[in-house]
Amino acid sequence: MTISPRTFSAPPEVQTFDGVLSDFDGTIVDSTDAIVKHWHQIGAELGVDPEVILATSHGRRSIDTMALYDKSKANWEYVNFIEGRIPKEYGSDAKEIPGGRDMLAALQSSGAKWGVVTSGTRALIDGWLGVLGLPHPEMLVVAEDVELGKPDPRCYLLGRKKLGIESSSVVVLEDAPSGIKAGKAAGFKVIALATTHSLDQLKEAGADWVVEDLRSVSVKGVVDGRVQIEIRNALQ
């Protein structure tokens, strides 16, 4: 039996949700080069191989990463300081994920209930939004807002609460397995972007749809307060 190769070719479908919650780094913005330089700098300061740090840092809060190597620096004052300097020092190393700017603009202009749920600190997210001139979400859940980061679901549950949504009819936009697992554990649907991890990792984490990037996801409209999301060329 011949197994057909997986392709991004599923027919368009429209799904309706009460709200949209999006991850930030790897979903809206690609700051990989900046983050690599950042952790090389931190690794040098700590005397730790930066490649060891980078192997597990994506999608994880810096405070949780720091706790593995130097508990004395696993505090919000230090983490906000080091993350706040990333956009200032490495701003030219970040770029938008294709479709990211359009998605934020469409969510903002449509009147949909939406927000960003990120493992980054407020200092980091505010910095990137400013450097890249992206629409600023009114609802933002950042690393310091929850006791446990992704894959724990409480960040996404807090996002739903802040949006005033009581149902589980929420869609999460994510790129990292830890975030996908957090969204699914919260009881939400997850659209995964193949921007930072392998297709196998995204499927194994439980993604409901896998697309190449946000060019395959669009806001069709808001009807009776519910947002209609079109998903095109998903993996099949």
Q: Which are the catalytic amino acids?
A: 23, 25
Backbone φ and ψ of 89, nearest 5° = -90, -30
DSSP the chain: -PPPPP-B-PPPEEEEESEEEE--BTTTEE-HHHHHHHHHHHHHHHT--HHHHHHHHTTS-HHHHHHHH-GGG-SHHHHHHHHHHHHHHHGGG-EEPTTHHHHHHHHHHHT--EEEE-SS-HHHHHHHHHHHTPPPPSSEE-GGGSSS-TTSTHHHHHHHHHHT--SS-EEEEESSHHHHHHHHHTT-EEEEETTSS-HHHHHHTT-SEEESSGGGEEEEEEETTEEEEEE-S-B-
Is residue 34 within 8 Å of 94, Cβ to Cβ?
Answer: yes
Q: Which residue in the block uniquely carries the two structure tokens 């479709």? A: 99
